Amino acid sequence: MSMTPRATLVIRGRIASLAGDDGPGWVDAIGIADGRVVAAGSRDAVAAAAGPGTRTLDLGPDEVAVPGLTDSHLHLVEAALSRSRVGLEHAAAIEELVGRVRAGADRVPDGDAWIEGAGWDPDAFGRWPTADDLERAAPGRRVALWAHDHHALLVSDRALAEAGVGERTPDPDGGVIRRHGDGRETGVLHEAAARLVAGRIPPPSVDALTAAMRSLIGELVALGVVAVHDPGGLSQQDGLRGPIQAYRALAAAGELGLRAHPCVRPEQLDAAEAEGIRSGQPLGPDPRDRLRLGWLKTFADGSLGSRTAALLEPLVRGPGEPEPPNGGHGVWLTPPEQLRAQATRAASLGITTQIHGIGDAAVRVALDVLGPTVGATPLVPRVEHTQLVHPDDVPRFAALGIAASFQPVHVRSDEEKARRLWGERAELGAYALGAIARTGALIPTGTDAPVEPIDPWPGVACAVTRSAPSWPAGTPPLGPSNALSLWRSLRAAGVDPARSAGERDRGRLVPGHRADVVVLPAAALDEPVEAGGALWHARPRLVLLDGEIVAG
C-alpha cells in the first residue's frame, strides 16, 4: 500500500469539489502535495492530513474555488497566430473589410509577403465579398482571409493567379470555387477549395509558433483554463511538423504552461503510424507530464454560417437569401465511406477519432462511423460541435459510448441563423446539450476559438441561460429544454472533457486528482445565472496548476 504524502498546502473556504455525479460537492478544505489533492472535506479532517510547515491559503468570504477548466475544442495554435493577422470580426460592411485590409497591408510593407486575416461574415455584408474588393484595399498583393467560421477563404487576384485557379479550374472534391454569373471566379473558395490557395502560404517557423503559443497560454490560464483539446490547424498540415513540433518543443523544455491534447489530421496519419504515437500517450520528453496525443480530427460536413452543414432536410431559404451550395443539403467534406476508413485505420493504430459534425445528417453518419471503434482505444470517440441532432439520434450517444462535444457560446452567436436556416428543427435539436446530457452521455464543452473568443465563462453561462445579452430585446431563449443546470455546465467544462480524454485523475478536487484550482468571486456561482451576469463575466482571482500558483 502506498503512503499518501502529508499536505504541504491547505486551501480553506468554500470549495466546489465536483465530487460524485452531480451538484457542487462542497467541501471546507483541500490538502495538496506533489501537485495533487491528498485530502478533501472538513477543516479538521484536512488539518489532520497536513504536515509540519504546511502553508495555508484562506479564501475570502466573497470567494469560491472550483476545479480548473478544460477547453475541449480550442484551436490553440490558430488562435495564437490569429493575434498577428487582420481581424475582420464584426465588420458590418464591405467598406469596413476594405479599410481593415488596407491598414493590415500597410503593416506588412514587403510587397511579396502575405496579408492574412480572418473573421468576415457574408451575412453582415448582404453579399459575398470578392477579389475586386481586395484590389481596392491592397492592389496587386497576396491576400488570404478566412471567413469567421473558417469554412470559406477570400483571396486576391494575385493569389488566385499564382495558384493557377481560373475559369476552367474544376471544383475540387469537397469544395466549391464561387463564380460570377459569367463563370469567372469571385475570389471566395468554399471548404476544400480553400486549400488551392491556403496550401501555398508559407507556414510560420516553430520559433514563431512557440512564441505565439506562450503568450496565448498565459491568457488562457489567467481565465481559468488549465487544459485544452486542440483539434489542430484549419488548413492542411504536412507530417508532424509545425504545430505538433511546437507543442513538443515547449513540453520538452518544461515550459508548456497548460495541459494539452493536440489532435492529428487524416493527412498526418502516416507520420503518426511511422512514429507509433497513440491517443492518450506522451508525445515525447515532457518533464511536467502535460502533453499527450488527442484524437484523429476529421470532418464530415461544413458549417451553419456557410450553409454547408449536411442536413437530412434542406435548410430553409428566405426571400433574397444567397443561393446555398448543393440545394441547401450541405456539403460532405469527407464522404461517409472515407470517414469510416479513416476511423477504422486510426483505431487500428491506437488513435481515437473525433468527427466534426454540424448538421443532423453529419451527426448521424458520425455516430454510425464511430460506433464500431468504441472501446478500441483509451479515449472516447467524439462528435465535434453536434449543432443539430435529429430526435432519433439523441439516445445513441450514451447507448454507443460516444461523447457529444459542444460549444455553448455558439448559441449566443448563431441563434438567429439557427432559427432562420433550420426553422422548427432548431428549437429542440440545435445545441441539444440538455437532451443529450439527460441520456447520461458525456458532453465536453469548449469555445472553438479562434471562431469565438477564448474566454470560457460566457459559454459556461450560456449553456444555462440559452440566451445572450447581445440579442435584440424580447428574443426568447433558444430551446430552453436544452438548458443545463449551473453544476452540470461546470462539469461539462471540466469533468466531461477529462473523462473523454481517458483521464481518471483530473477535473475534480478529490484525493488523487491534479491540484488545478480556480478561485472565483463568489457571486459567479451564488447569483442566479443570467445572460451577461456574474458567471458570464467571471474573472479568476487566483489559478493553481499542479498545486502551484500560475495566475493571480
- The residue ranges that bind Zn ion (CB under 5 A) are 448
The SS3 of residue 223 is coil
Closest CA to 351 of 394, 321, 306, 382: 382
Residue 497 preceded by cis peptide, ω within 30: no
Q: How far is the CB of 377 from Zn ion (least distance, A)?
A: 21
- CB 431 → Zn ion: shortest distance, Å? 15
From start to end of 257-304, where are the E strands? Answer: 259-262, 296-299
Least Cβ distance, residue 63 to Zn ion (angstroms):
33
Spell out the alpha helix ranges (H) of 86-180.
94-107, 122-125, 131-137, 157-162
Residue with Cβ nearer Zn ion (80 or 98) = 80
Which of 266/350 has CB closer to Zn ion? 266
Q: Are 466 and 479 in contact (CB under 8 A)?
A: yes
C-alpha dihedral (313, 318, 320, 324), degrees to nearest 10: -20
466 grid coordinates:
440559452
Q: Which is nearer to Zn ion, 71 or 448 (CB)?
A: 448
| Beta carbon of residue 74, minimum distance to Zn ion (angstroms, whole number) | 8
* Nearest CB to Zn ion, comparing residues 16 and 418: 418
Instruction: Work out how close the CB of 482 gets to Zn ion at its nearest, in angstroms, rounded to a whole number.
Output: 21
Residue of this chain nearest to Zn ion (CB atom) = 448
At closest approach, how far in Å is the CB of 73 from Zn ion?
5
Q: Would you say 191 or 448 has its CB closer to Zn ion?
A: 448
Q: Are strands 36-41 and 26-33 parallel, antiparallel or unpaired?
A: antiparallel
In the complex, minimum distance from the CB of residue 231 to Zn ion, in angstroms, rounded to a whole number? 5
In terms of CB distance, is 17 or 354 closer to Zn ion?
354
Q: Pick the closer one to Zn ion by CB: 415 or 448.
A: 448
Q: What is the rounded CA–CA span in Å between residue 299 and residue 290?
A: 27
Q: Please list the alpha-helical segments (H only) found in 430-511.
A: 433-438, 457-465, 486-492, 495-500
To the nearest whole angstrom, how small is the minimum distance from the Cβ of residue 263 to Zn ion?
Answer: 10
Which one-letter amino acid corresponds to residue 85? R
Residue 179, C-alpha cell as written in the block: 463564380
Nearer to Zn ion, 153 or 520 (CB): 153
Which residue number, 446 or 547, has a Cβ lying nearer to Zn ion? 446
Q: Based on CB atoms, which residue is closest to Zn ion, 63 or 448?
A: 448
Smallest gap, in angstroms, from Cβ of residue 30 to Zn ion? Answer: 34
Closest distance of CB 75 from Zn ion, Å: 6
Cell representation of residue 294: 488527442
CB atoms inside a 10 Å sphere around CB 371: 15
Measuring CA to CA, which residue among 478, 390, 378, 467 is closest to residue 436? 390
State the minimum distance, in angstroms, from the CB of residue 14 to Zn ion. Answer: 35
Q: Closer to Zn ion by CB, 17 or 352: give it.
A: 352
Print the SS3 string covering 228-239.
EEECCCCCCCCC
In whole angstroms, give the CA distance from residue 429 to residue 433: 9
Tell me which DSSP letter residue 128 carries: -
Question: By C-alpha distance, which of 168, 169, 137, 173 is closest to 154?
Answer: 137
Rounded to the nearest 5°, which phi and psi values hold at 520? Answer: -115, 160
CA distances (Å), 486 to each of 41, 163, 284, 524, in order? 22, 50, 38, 10
Residue in the block written with cell 493577422? 85
